[in-house]
Amino acid sequence: MLKPLPLFPLRLLFLPARWLAWLLLSLASLPSHAAIATELQALARHPTWLRLGHYQSDARLQSGWRSAIHDADFFAAPDGQLDPLAELTATLRAFAQTDGSGTDAHASCRYPARWAWLREQLGPAEPGLGSPMSCPGFDAFTRGRSVTSVSVVFATGFLANPASFYGHTLLKFNFRGERSQSRLLDVSVNYGAIVGNDEGILTYVVKSVLGGYDGGFSHIDFYFHNHNYGDVELRDLWEYQLRLPQQATDRIVAHAWEVLGKRYTYHFFRENCAYRMAELLEVVDGVDVIPQTWPWIIPQAMVGHMGVARYRGEPLVGEVVYHPSRQSRYYAKYDRLSAPEGDALQAFVQAAPAPRDAALAALPPARQAAVLEAALDYYQYVGAPIDRAPRPLREGYTRALSMRYQLPPADAAPPAPPVPVSPHLSRRLGWMQLALLRGPQGHHELGLRIRPAYYDALDSESGQVGNSMLAMGDLQLGMRQGRVKIRRFDLLGIESVNPGRTPLPGDGGPAYKLHLGIEPLGLHFDASHVLRLQGDYGRGQVLAPGLFVAGYLGGALQTCKDDACPGFVRGTLDLIYRPREALGLRLSVERRAPVGNGQPHYTVAGIESRWRLEANTDLRLSVEHDGANRVALGIGRYW
């Protein structure tokens, strides 16, 4: 309990009159004024108080701290953003006020997490804190304070939007009641950049990286995110329910209420959705989910760190729930169809508006139902949202729904889609490779490659877009005869595909490539380098299980070197084959036509195979050709 004292530091003169009266009545048993000042200062420096205020170390300030929140409404003291002690004193004073009691305006309703923590620290009999009171807004947010657990939800990456390249995280508050009935109605808390409607992709990339946006928390029912990510953007969701006691859960929920609508500075690579969600969790003493060894925070890295974290000696993560996207649900239903059933589905879809149903009618009623349920998922997948889809898709969906209603209900619920490996169990996200290379004229060299993040087409795993690439800062060095040379440096590499796995129209989508970096003009060790921007557009298709092919048209612009400017146009064919999970092969062939320099057309080709030796180790063999040849064998380690 906070101890009264006879002499007061200047700050304590501003404590509530009821506290001062209580202190004066107890003068006979009081210690010196230094004791209470020391106790207040200790509370202000307590890690939990600093986390509740989102204070970050700042040696330039006299207090040594600055809050990451720059919204004045978050603070009880005028200088609370820069002074944790001033904020603590003002918060205690505000708790003791009687004005506004029983309304959301009272401090105990604005700061329920602070109130509960200070009550733990000072004791339940502390007169300045008062008794728990009704807070209409907070009670509505928590539905009568009935949150029983907190989940972290991870949405897999989405390469059509730079804001979602690395995936996304949000919190979900789980309420009392039947989980199967209430899951979509649970409250979700989201964090993101506050972006204007008229800002383009390039503007977003630059401003989000440089801290040009504010960021903030918002909340909405979980079904909104489940629909947006799973049905519109076709991203799988992974829900990690945390094993925390009720008191810890209550603190996270209360602090989420405190920061709703408050403004931070948003940084894409560090202080992003994953970082801020982790901060909410870390207001609980003993929870550690922010990877401290990385200069940036990627949502999947945070999820992986959380997956191995422990709380009070037990795993932090309890139940893991897979929420498959509309695309995943459609593929799962299609894969369970036999060949005749697949033919019946294709005939039903492609024969509109005058469908031929003979193949469908020949099936038993139960299998007709399976085909029609696959058709319903197909129409919602390719036409999402179905109410705004082209008329043939809407009519096909309505007809499939009508025919399904005419059949008997299924004897049992259809099996759930197969659950892939959870992203928190996937390999680590950085990669380093040491390789032995044999170049033109039989020269040998050592190669060192460091790719801080994230994945390529051969090592894309759960939580990442299959057969795609997203890499930043990919550096390749060559070492020969005591010389070290930059072979290649990719500032950014994106290869995005939406491969169709079924023969139905609309399954699949465009594919594109975008690369920016420093590249050699040839495979020779001493080849000149240029800064090159490359872009390609095409389509891809899964031809058979494990076999993907894509074709592109595109080109490159580059700086001038050895008459090799301004660039070239090209056509590219890519083939990726995965005979089994641990083995992959990629073949790429380009035909380039230089522009503006009179040089002849030429071919660039490469083949690379990857063996996954264990979760975080791989072996790769590659052969490159551009008129000369280079062979490389390297062992890689993920970190």
Report the distance separating Cα 125 and Cα 115, nearest Å. Answer: 13
Report the distance separating Cα 198 and Cα 400, nearest Å. Answer: 39
The answer to whether 46 touches 123, Cβ cutoff 8 Å, is no
Q: Which tokens hold the place of 202?
A: 């390039």
Q: What percent of the chain has pLDDT over 90?
A: 61
Report the distance separating Cα 260 and Cα 272, nearest Å. Answer: 15
Give, rounded to a whole angstrom, the gap between the first and last alpha carbons of the chain. 47
pLDDT value of position 56: 93
Report the distance separating Cα 90 and Cα 283, nearest Å. Answer: 20
Region 586-615: mean pLDDT is 94
Q: For residue 545, count other CB atoms closer than 10 A to its CB.
A: 9
Report the distance separating Cα 633 and Cα 610, nearest Å. Answer: 10
Summarize the chain as % helix, strand, coil (round to 5).
Answer: 30, 30, 35
pLDDT confidence tier of residue 21, bands split at 50, 70 and 90: very low
- Residue 478 has φ and ψ, to the nearest 5°, of -120, 140
Q: For residue 32, count other CB atoms closer than 10 A to its CB.
A: 11
Region 37-46: mean pLDDT is 87
pLDDT tens by residue, 480-531: 988 999 999 999 999 999 888 888 988 888 899 999 999 999 888 788 999 9
DSSP for 170-196 reads EEEEEESS-HHHHGGGSEEEEEEE---
Q: What does the radius of gyration of the chain's CA atoms come to, in whole angstroms?
A: 30
Q: What percent of the chain has pLDDT over 70?
A: 91
Q: In which residue are the tokens 């006691």 written?
A: 245
pLDDT tens by residue, 248-260: 999 999 999 999 9
pLDDT value of position 45: 93
- Classify the phi-psi angles of 351: left when phi > 0, otherwise alpha if psi is within -120 to 50, otherwise beta: alpha
pLDDT value of position 11: 45
pLDDT tens by residue, 108-162: 999 999 999 999 998 876 766 766 778 899 999 999 889 999 999 999 988 877 7
Region 276-302: mean pLDDT is 90
pLDDT value of position 3: 41
- Residue 404 has φ and ψ, to the nearest 5°, of -65, -35
User: Sign of the C-alpha dihedral, residues 400, 402, 407, 412?
Assistant: positive
The answer to whether 153 touches 228, Cβ cutoff 8 Å, is no
Q: What value, to the nearest 5°, has the Cα angle with vertex 121 and ends 115 and 124?
A: 70
pLDDT tens by residue, 375-421: 999 999 998 788 888 888 999 999 999 999 999 887 777 777 889 98
Q: Long-range contacts made by residues 59-66, C-beta under 8 angstroms, separation at least 24?
A: none
Q: Please give the mean pLDDT across all residues of the chain.
A: 87
- Domains of the chain (ranges; CATH) run 10-135 (no CATH), 142-323 (no CATH), 340-405 (no CATH), 426-638 (2.40.160.40)
Q: In which residue are the tokens 């048209």 written?
A: 553
Report the distance separating Cα 488 and Cα 484, nearest Å. Answer: 12
Report the distance separating Cα 374 and Cα 395, nearest Å. Answer: 16
Who contacts 326 (Cβ-Cβ below 8 Å, separation ≥6)?
230, 231, 234, 377, 380, 381, 384
Report the distance separating Cα 607 and Cα 618, nearest Å. Answer: 16
Report the distance separating Cα 272 and Cα 211, nearest Å. Answer: 10
Q: What value, to the nearest 5°, has the Cα angle with vertex 201 and ends 200 and 203?
A: 70
pLDDT confidence tier of residue 177, bands split at 50, 70 and 90: low
Amino acid residing at 54: H
